[in-house]
Amino acid sequence: MKKRKFRFFKETKKTLSSLWFMLRLSWGLGKSRFFWTPFTIIINSLIPILLLTIPKIIIDELTYSRRWSVVLANIFVLAGITAFSALYRWGSWYLQNKSVRKIQLKNEKEYIREVLNTDYRNHENSEYKDLTERVKSNVNVINFLDTTLVEFVTNLFQLIGYTYIIAQLHWLIVVAIIIIIKFNSVLAEKREKMGYEFQPVVANFARRCQYIYSTMIGFESGKDVRMNNAADWLQGKYKAETENYIKSFSKKQNKEVKITIVDHLINAVQTIIMYGYSAYMAIMGKITVGSFSMYLGAITSFISSFTGFVSKLINLKYWGYYVDDYRRFLEMSKPESTACCDKSITEEDLSGGAIEFENVSFKYPGTEEYALKNVSLRIENGEKLSIVGYNGAGKSTFIKLLCRLYAPTTGRITFGGFDIQTIDYSVYRKMLGVVFQDFQLFAFSVKENILLDMEPDEERLNWAVEKSGLYEKVGSLEKGLETSISKEFDENGIEFSGGEGQKLASARAYYRNAPIVILDEPTAALDPIAESKLYERFNSIMENKTAIYISHRLASVKFCDKVAVFEGGHIIEYGTHDALMSQNGTYFNMFTTQAKYYKEDAANEESEE
């Protein structure tokens, strides 16, 4: 008994906490809704009561006194109430419709803001992805205010009115109805619980099917799908996902059918009891025909309101679980990269500073194997470093840590003597210009793809385009820098080749003009000669900037002061090109093996010319 009592108070406290959380969230997103809500509750509570009592007066007047003036007056009152109710519903819909959409958009913006600002590690976390899908589907301010809270309070007020009316027939009627509805509430809670427990299935299905669907119809995957005859394979994947979902959905539906059958049987029994008793009272002359009509209407409305009240009460309880999901989503979304920042560290403090990895180790979340182990390395200001190694050596992980996409598991990284985890992220980000291997071009204009969040400067923009090697290409386009990339939204958009896309990503880094430039294998799709030329362009504008080149090929080496060779998450060789060549180790083997391919490609290029 004590445990049950404790659980009740615990659940009540949780529900009230969730209610307060959603009220604060709703107030922040749409204060105007709170102006209309009390009026809506009062009108929706009062009008049904009036629509029960006025017809009772009319029927009794027609049955007994038959005073036409009284009947007509009540008919006008009834018509006025009906018209007012309809006009109010239409007027409130008209006036609030715009605010509803604004609140929904604000709600979506809040959700998107959290997803955009969360740490990069969450984008590789399937648990976080499923959680975001559930939150997106279920935590909706309008649903909470209009569908749950307003209806809950309205049903409560209606119950008070209906209880008063029915109690005049017999107070045991109210008791009987409450007992019957208690059974209904148990069924309703089971139904709600099944719905909540089914949410992870829905979220997982939505995410997986959306991915497969996008792959099937997406432009980027179109060539691979067709050339590899993958259409049937993808359709099979989509079919398997939908069949699994339908199986799970069918199990849920089968359980709900049983609950629904029991629910209807209970409703049938209560209808027989309530109608039978009211009819008996009318036959015995203990109530008028008008009262009979009113009581039947009140009993039916009482059952509907009480069922709705219990249903919304259960909804509020499960809002607690949805709010728990939302709070967990907010907690997981909170970027660790901005959690402990020293706002006093400025760009001037960092200018001219060295980068140093101090015994850094790292393993990805959910894995036990280290991607980097005991890495120590110092990169002086203005130094050019080439990081080389075969695939899976840890090169890209090294860059992710330097870019603060992840934090080291152990050890620390400093810049200008400051731990990079303590530097304000917006300040730190300005210090880096990065071109990744899997760089992203957006379906907007060429100009916007270069600028992104940066302020426009036409002179610097033209300089960046020229240095990237895209000047002639952009100049040949009818709209120049205003040309849309891809045909996603503009049929006259341009589809850049892989090499041109890499040049555009490079122009983005040039324009940023950061003191540290990082190239994380951006040339993987280029042939060795094109790669070498791209590195030459980069080197020509580096001046006193710190440059870090990541590659498993060695085109960047001749521009660099030092070379770090990675293997198995360790730095196995470090030094100048000449020093490493003299060791006859891994670097020597990589360089001599690749050198002949560069020579062959150069010879082929010359013969073609």
Task: Tell me the pLDDT tens digit for each residue of 338-360.
Answer: 555 677 788 888 888 899 999 99
Q: What is the pLDDT of residues 374-420, one digit of tens each?
A: 999 999 998 999 898 888 888 889 988 998 888 899 999 999 889 99
Would you say the C-alpha torsion 410, 412, 413, 419 has a positive or negative sign?
positive
Candidate from 177-181, 452-456, 469-473, 551-555 with smallest mean pLDDT: 551-555
The more confidently predicted of residues 237 and 356 is: 356
DSSP per residue over 218-275, as a string? Answer: -HHHHHHHHHTT-HHHHHHHHHHHHHHHHHHHHHHHHHHHHHHHHHHHHHHHHHHHHH
| 448's tokens | 């916007």
Whether the model pTM is above 0.85: no
Secondary structure (3-state) at 357: strand
Compute the distance between CA of residue 355 and CA of residue 37 in angstroms, rounded to an integer.
58
Q: Is the pLDDT of residue 61 over 50?
A: yes
Residue 570 confidence (pLDDT): 93
| Residue 545 and residue 517 in contact, taking contact as beta carbons nearer than 8 Å | yes
The answer, yes or no, to whether residue 572 has pLDDT greater than 70, is yes
Q: Quickly state the pLDDT bin for 219 (edges 50, 70, 90).
A: low
What is the DSSP code (8-state) at residue 418? Answer: E
pLDDT value of position 300: 80
Cα dihedral 453, 454, 458, 459 sign: negative
| % of the chain residues with pLDDT over 70 | 85
Backbone phi, then psi, for 434, in 5-degree steps? -125, 135
The whole-angstrom separation of Cα 415 and Cα 423 is 9
Decide which of 293 and 554 is more confident: 293
pLDDT at 604 over 70: no
Percent of the chain with pLDDT over 90: 9
pLDDT over 70 at 97, yes or no: no
As a whole number of angstroms, the distance between CA 526 and CA 244 comes to 42
Rounded to the nearest angstrom, the gap between the alpha carbon of residue 261 and the centroid of all alpha carbons in its chain is 38
Asked whether the predicted pLDDT for residue 532 surpasses 80, the reply is no
**Would you state the pLDDT for residue 398?**
93
Mean pLDDT of 107-128: 77
Residues paired with residue 250 on neighbouring β-strands, in sequence order = none
Average pLDDT over residues 141-148: 74
- The better pLDDT of the pair 597, 108 is held by 108
Residue 569: its pLDDT value, please? Answer: 92
> By mean pLDDT, which of 49-53, 335-339, 362-366 is the weakest?
335-339
Between 156 and 597, where is the model more confident?
Answer: 156
Model confidence band, residue 589 (pLDDT cutoffs 50, 70, 90)? confident
Put residue 255 in one of left, alpha, beta given phi > 0 → left and psi -120 to 50 → alpha.
alpha
Pick left, alpha or beta for residue 417 (phi over 0 → left; psi -120 to 50 → alpha; otherwise beta).
left
Side-chain half-sphere of 390: how many Cα atoms within 13 Å?
Answer: 9
Q: Give the pLDDT band (50/70/90) at residue 605.
A: very low
pLDDT > 60? residue 603: no
- pLDDT for 159-201, tens place per residue? 888 888 877 777 777 777 777 777 777 777 777 777 766 667 7
Q: What is the pLDDT of residue 408?
A: 92
Task: Say yes or no to pLDDT of 104 above 90.
Answer: no
pLDDT at 16 over 60: yes
Mean pLDDT of the chain: 78
Cβ atoms of 449 and 485 within 8 Å: the answer is yes
Among candidate residues 183, 157, 152, 134, the one with its CA nearest the CA of residue 317 = 152
